[in-house]
Amino acid sequence: MGTKVMNKIPATVKQIENVDSLHIVSFDFNTTPIKMMSLELNNIQIGTNVNLVVKPTHVSIAKEFQGLTSFSNTLQGTLTNTECGKLLCNLKITMQNSKETVLESIITLESFNHMQLKKGDDLSVFIKSSDISILEVTHD
């Protein structure tokens, strides 16, 4: 089932907060804010363009979501492809604010069936700030 791909999110550093060795970095992803928690921060400053990464197993989803969560990052997307095996489903979700950015989420087949997911569904995508890291600095 599927490849072992990390999700890439292009973003620009907007703010850096730190206490001792803990950093909270705020990014702009096509006008959508994203936050990352990190213990290491090398050669990153406000205005730096980066590609962020997150594992597909760390991307949570909700359908018809209303309410508050403790997730630092909530994105909106549309389910564009599904590939289900006997236990797991690999979902491809095209971000509403950047049609070029497609995130993958891996969920259980049981969750997929419970949520009655289908192509075209609008989804909320949740990512903890501690599950995001910087893959590379880009020079866009």
- pLDDT, averaged per 10 consecutive residues of the chain (140 residues), comes to 73 96 95 94 91 97 94 96 97 93 97 97 97 90
The pLDDT, as a whole number, for residue 1 is 46
CATH of span 7-138:
2.40.50.100
Q: What is the pLDDT of residue 3?
A: 47
pTM reported for the whole predicted model: 0.91
The residue with tokens 């995508």 is 125
Q: Say what the pLDDT of residue 80 is.
A: 97
Q: What is the pLDDT of residue 139?
A: 80
- Give the residue extent of every domain in the chain: 7-138
Q: Is 115 helix (H, G, I), strand (E, B) or coil?
A: helix
32's CB contacts (< 8 A; 6+ apart) are 75, 97
